[in-house]
Amino acid sequence: MGKLVLAAKMTHVPTMIMSEQDGPLKGKRQAAIDGHIEIGRRIREAGADTVVVLDTHWLVNAAYHVNANHHYKGRFTSNEFPQFIKDLDYEYTGNAVLGDLIAEKACERGVYTLSHQVDSLELEYGTLVPMRYLNPKGDLKVVSVAAMCTVHSQEASRKLGEAIMTAIEASDSNVALIASGSLSHRIWPNDIYDENNGTFTISSQFNQEMDLHVLDLWQRGEIGTFLKMLPDYAKHCEGEGDMHDTVMLFGALGWDKYEGSGEVVTEYFPSSGTGQTNVVFSLPK
C-alpha cells in the first residue's frame, strides 16, 4: 500500500536557473534554490520514491492529463521565456503505473483524465525547475499532472486531487506531492517592466498583502478559511493557472477535513510582479 509522505507548494521561477549563471542575477535566487534542496532532503528522509508534480506550466484545454512516461529525456527551451531557460538537459525515470492509476481513479469520480506514455510529450518547466534542485541525481521517479486548466472547474480539480490520494494509497509508491506554482501572479506589463527593478518587485500591493495573509492562514492551520476564499483569491490576485495546482493539493490532503498546517521553508519573495514561496504542509503521523 502506498503513502503520501510529503506535500508542498513550491515556486518554479525561471530566475532560479539564471541565478546559477554568470550575470546580474547570479546568486539572487539562492534562497529559493536552498528551499528546493531542503525539501528534496525531506522527501528522501520521508522515504519517498516518486514525486508527483502539479504543473501550472502545462496548459490543457480539454480533459485532465498526466505525463506518466516510463522515462523522460530531453533538452528543454521555454517557448514562453527562451531567453531565461534554454538548452536545459534533463533525464528522469517515470512511474507509469501510478500515473495510470491517477487517471483511472479520477475517471471513476466522473473527472475525465488521460494518462500518457509518449516520448515526444515533454516535461514543462513547472516540473523541470523543482526537479533540477530537489532531484538532481534523478533517483526519484517523476509523474507530471497538467495544472494550467483553462476550461476546468475547481470542483473537478478538487476531485482530481482526491483521486491522486486514492491512487497513491492503491499503489506501491511512497509519494511527495508538489503543487508547482506561484501565489499571486500578476506579471508586470511589458511596456512598464524595468528589468533592474521589476524582477524583484511585486506588481500589486494588494496582491502582496493577500499573499502574506494566505501564508499566515496556512501557518496557523486555518485551512477551512483559506478554502472559502480560494476562488476569489485565485481570481482577483490572478493565481497562476487559476491555482488549480493548489486546489488539487488540498483535494489530496482532504480539503476542509485537513487539520494540518504549512511551514514556510523559503520566505515570501516577489518575482517579476508575482508572489513566490516554498511551503511544506504537515501530514498525519
Q: Which domains does the chain have, with CATH numbers?
A: 3-281 (3.40.830.10)
pLDDT over 90 (residue 67): yes
What is the CB-side half-sphere exposure of residue 55 using CA atoms within 13 A?
26
DSSP 60: E
Strand duo 141-149 + 71-76: pairing: unpaired
Amino acid at 270: P
pLDDT tens digits, one per residue of 69-118: 999 999 999 999 898 899 999 999 999 999 999 999 999 999 999 999 99
Band of residue 53 on the pLDDT scale cut at 50, 70, 90 = very high
The pLDDT of residue 193 is above 80 = no
Question: Closest by alpha carbon to 43, among 147, 127, 134?
Answer: 134
Residue ranges of E strands in the chain: 3-10, 50-60, 64-67, 71-76, 88-93, 113-116, 141-149, 174-180, 262-271, 274-281
Largest CA distance in the chain: 53
Model confidence at 194, pLDDT cuts 50, 70, 90, reads confident
Q: Residues 144, 178: contact at Cβ < 8 Å?
A: no
Contact 126, 51 (CB under 8 A): no
pLDDT of residue 22: 92
* Residue 31 phi, psi (nearest 5): -60, -40
- Residue 46 to residues 2, 26, 101, 137, 260: CA-CA distances in angstroms? 13, 32, 22, 17, 17
Residue 192 reports pLDDT greater than 90: no
Residue 196 pLDDT = 61
Contacting residues for 211 by C-beta, under 8 A, at least 6 apart? 183, 184, 237, 268, 275, 277
Report whether 12 contacts 181 (CB < 8 A).
yes
Up-side HSE of residue 79: CA atoms within 13 Å toward CB? 6
pLDDT in tens, 148-158: 999 999 999 99
- Does this model's pTM top 0.95? yes
Asked whether the beta carbons of 90 and 131 are under 8 A apart, the reply is yes
The reported pLDDT for the residue numbered 195 is 64
| pLDDT value, residue 81 | 87
Round to whole Å and give the CA distance between 179 and 181: 6
